[in-house]
A and B are shown apart, each in its own frame.
Chain A
């Protein structure tokens, strides 16, 4: 055993050498700063979407206000509770930012034991006493891209075909994402009631290969525009659009630059702003509990063609802009869910 111990010792010493050589910048000032704990969703960092944008939002708060933050990446829903408890128990975090509605019960339980802990609960419409819930309107986020698809498939746009078919692809079958599907379909049917909208679910947010296969089969069935709501699986949709020379829509942060010749627009949602604004509200003293739902009116969601090389026909732009104005003013409310979609389509038609 002696040789084994010796080898281990040598390795340890070597290790400290390697580490010490490359670690000279780690020194933290000792002033009292606002400290934030971030509990990410189970998707984790690297999704180029929800989680990364939240991280980005806090990073901006670091630059703007000099806060510090720590984050945790739950591996499963079972981790939410201990991780929230860990932050609350530490007692040093001025605010916990929690991502995703599935953290609801853990937050309830921790809030019971630590009533003074401030928690901002992002992307939920659940109300918990003492917690600030921040939600966006999914139907409003995808509605305008739905209009582009509904008109585009009838138009003479370069990559559009004769079939009156478009598609929407979900990452996982989550109820709040289905609201996004409802928004997209209501946008399509608002301007094009007879259009067929294909729907499919990848089953994962991190499977671009499968996303691509599903998109290809939709394009083969005549779809010329596909909206994805599928996280990293959506990257496969873009790839498919490029392969068969059709159109796609991005979701979340502006994705148009990824395939500017094939992505017409992105259904924008600025999660980084949502998270940044929570810290800002805390610092400015305007942080209050309760539900904050923001939509197109507040600029939290919308649609962007920036960075896309595709030029939309003026006639389509006009309709989209009209609809946007109507939504902002409250005259037009996209279908809230798939169940109410048929009734909504019957009641709402463009130009009437």
Chain B
């Protein structure tokens, strides 16, 4: 119990932590059941659907590898959203920051410095993180200096970032050939595949490590304490002498760096280059991941794995059945609805304890 308490002691208490885990689990189950009902109404067999998803996510070693591959970017983007959320900042710009990270990494990765892999690979990763951080840092700066709303500025900057990277990959950095993409990165910048014929790379373990580091920073460091103070009550934090402007900018920088890492890992591990339109919305899906994880960096690992499994499973669902893979999005959407409306879940599932507490 002490381990669990330490793991989830996000400035809260043990009761809140177990309650959070239970709410997230219930929301997920409820989302799957409601989606199944919708499938049945649409005359699709929900058992066939979930069977196919399960096979595609865990059926064999390749399926498990796909689950981990799909979970990796979601863990980064979910974590990026979570970090900003700790300071009560809503970073909708994870998608754009990820694009900036991806193009910077692809650029450095394809340049020949004559560096060995031990230097080239970290350099490419660093540039990805810095590019993402700069874009997010700009948002923080605009908010602190000019009072602009970060939700709006991140949404607008998404479009700008995606189009700038699109331009770069179409003209200055374009590889020869008919596809809009950059040159293939050099072998010295590649994250090697762990097994022949599998897409899985060390990126997955880097993602877990980053989640763990962010957890420690948030809960064990002064900076993390300041970030959480700003998140709980900005005015109180200011009164207590915390430089809230600086803390918000730093929070956005960290959040953007993690978003940039999402792009960097996709480029170095999976795609081996920047491809225009490479993201199916990982940045936005990160919001669902963060919601399911209840804004806990360790929870992000598990939430990322769950959504990764759904996405990996959707491939087999797609191939072996005529059930639209849009149901994966339906499940994700319901997760957000249920997680963000805990009272709704409590009313639907009448537990004695919860009901009593609610009634009081």
| A interface with B by C-beta (< 8 Å) | 3-4, 7-8, 11, 15-16, 18-19, 22-23, 37, 42, 70-73, 75-79, 81-83, 85-87, 89, 101-102, 104-105, 113, 124-126, 172-176, 203
Contact = CB atoms under 8 A, between A and B. Distances in A.
Contact of A83 (B270, B315, B349): B315
Given A77-B277, A86-B319, A113-B197, A173 B36 contact: no
Contacts of B277: 42, 76-77, 172
Contacts of B179: 101-102, 104, 174-175
B114 to A, nearest CB: 26
Nearest to A22: B43
A125 B277 CA distance: 21
A283 B15 CA distance: 66
Nearest to A112: B197
21 contacts: A3-B350, A11-B33, A11-B37, A15-B36, A15-B47, A16-B47, A18-B40, A19-B40, A75-B280, A78-B266, A78-B271, A79-B280, A82-B69, A86-B316, A102-B275, A105-B272, A113-B197, A124-B178, A173-B276, A203-B162, A203-B163
Given A22-B43, A77-B271, A175-B178, A86 B349 contact: no
A37 B319 contact: yes
A77 B278 contact: yes
Cβ-closest 4 pairs across A and B: A75-B280, A76-B280, A18-B40, A22-B43
B146 to A, nearest CB: 28
B204 to A, nearest CB: 14
A147 to B, nearest CB: 25
B325 A73 contact: yes
B199 A81 contact: yes
Given A3-B350, A4-B26, A101-B179, 12 more contacts: A3-B351, A18-B40, A19-B46, A42-B280, A70-B320, A71-B319, A72-B318, A73-B325, A78-B278, A79-B315, A125-B178, A203-B166
Interface string B211-231: 000000000000000000000
A89 B63 CA distance: 12
Contacts of B201: none
A76 B197 contact: no
Nearest to B40: A18
Contacts of A4: 26, 349, 351
B10 interface: no
A127 to B, nearest CB: 12
A87 B319 contact: yes
Interface residues of B, number: 47
Nearest to A40: B318
A72 B319 contact: yes
A124 B178 CA distance: 8
A175 B180 contact: yes
B147 interface: no
Given A72-B318, A81-B199, A172-B277, A15 B180 contact: no
A15 B178 contact: no
Contacts of B41: 18
A104 B179 CA distance: 9
B166 A173 contact: yes
Contacts of B270: 78
A76 B29 CA distance: 27
A126 B175 CA distance: 14
B64 to A, nearest CB: 12
Interface string B41-57: 10111110000000000
Contacts of A19: 40, 43-47
Contacts of A15: 36-37, 40, 46-47
Interface in B161-207: 162-163, 166, 170, 177-181, 197, 199
Nearest to A124: B178
